[in-house]
């Protein structure tokens, strides 16, 4: 028998129900066996709780920050071609903002960093759009009038700003990466101001 892993996370059981149906389908195939597994919640039950104020860097975001902004630049390291769990965890906690349309009509842009050049920056940037689309945000990328897009030998994409950090994660931003990131910031700010009237 060949085992097929059905790995899911479910809070209230709908995904679990789907997983059970998928497993049933697998079992209908001769020679196939479903191995169903789940993952733990990311919560105070299994994770240490951070201090209210980070040891360094900017403060943690609050709902008031989302309410106050007229645009959003959202960044995450690339992790297995997708955003990192802490960012996803934060986004998953934004039901109240979604219900109240806190981000609706506001422009957003995206940025990421990955170790390798073809390690999934574009998939990360594009998938980060998805939750923001549910919030009704509008998107701002980089146009090819930014000539750095053609010249860069590292990061910088039409989908957002990016950096290739190398296998040890220590490579500093190239001039082209920095220039493109600034251009994106500018573009977002201009559009945000325009939309905000
Ligand atoms: C769990 C994990 C998954 C990662 N997945 C990818 C990946 O899919 N592609 C890639 O090129 N780098 C990957 N990396 C490397 C990070 O994307 C890379 O080090 C990134 O620059 C980290 O950004 P940061 O310095 O802002 O944390 C991964 C790193 C970790 C810890």
- What was the pLDDT predicted at 81? 96
Ligand 1 pocket check for 76: Cβ under 6 Å? no
Closest ligand 1 atom, residue 80 Cα: 8
- What was the pLDDT predicted at 45? 64
Where does residue 119 fall: left (phi above 0), alpha (psi -120 to 50 degrees), or beta otherwise? alpha
Q: Sign of dihedral through CA atoms 144, 117, 7, 40?
A: negative
Number of other CB atoms surrounding residue 127 within 10 Å: 16
Closest ligand 1 atom, residue 117 Cα: 11
Residue 172 Cα to ligand 1 midpoint, Å, equals 15
Q: At a CB cut-off of 8 Å and minimum separation 6, what does 50 contact? A: 60
- What was the pLDDT predicted at 44? 63
Q: pLDDT digit string (tens) for 12-48?
A: 887 898 889 989 998 999 999 999 998 776 766 666 6
Which amino acid residue places its CA nearest to atom 31 of ligand 1? 79
- What was the pLDDT predicted at 54? 85
Which amino acid residue places its CA nearest to atom 2 of ligand 1? 79
Mean of pLDDT values over 144-150: 96
103 class by beta-carbon count within 10 Å (0-12 exposed, 13-18 middle, 19+ buried): buried
Residue 81 Cα to ligand 1 midpoint, Å, equals 8
140: pLDDT strictly greater than 90: yes
CA–CA distances in Å: residue 123 to residues 48, 110, 116, 132: 30, 12, 13, 15
């Amino acid at each position: 028998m060949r085992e097929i892993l059905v790995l899911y996370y479910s809070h209230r059981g709908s995904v679990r129900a789907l997983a059970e149906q998928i497993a049933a389908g697998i079992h209908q195939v001769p020679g196939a066996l479903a191995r169903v597994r789940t993952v733990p919640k990311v919560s105070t039950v299994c994770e240490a709780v951070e201090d209210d104020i980070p040891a360094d860097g900017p403060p943690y975001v609050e709902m008031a920050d989302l309410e106050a902004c007229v645009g959003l630049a959202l960044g995450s390291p690339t992790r297995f071609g997708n955003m990192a769990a802490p960012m996803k965890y934060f986004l998953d906690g934004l039901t109240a903002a979604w219900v109240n349309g806190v981000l609706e009509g506001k422009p957003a842009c995206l940025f990421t960093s990955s170790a390798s050049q073809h390690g999934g920056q574009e998939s990360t940037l594009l998938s980060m759009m998805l939750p923001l689309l549910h919030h009704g945000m509008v998107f701002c990328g980089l146009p090819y009038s930014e000539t750095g897009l053609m010249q860069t030998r590292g990061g910088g994409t039409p989908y957002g700003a990016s950096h290739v950090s190398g296998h040890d994660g220590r490579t500093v931003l190239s001039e082209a990466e920095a220039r493109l990131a600034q251009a994106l910031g500018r573009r977002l700010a201009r559009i945000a101001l325009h939309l905000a009237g």
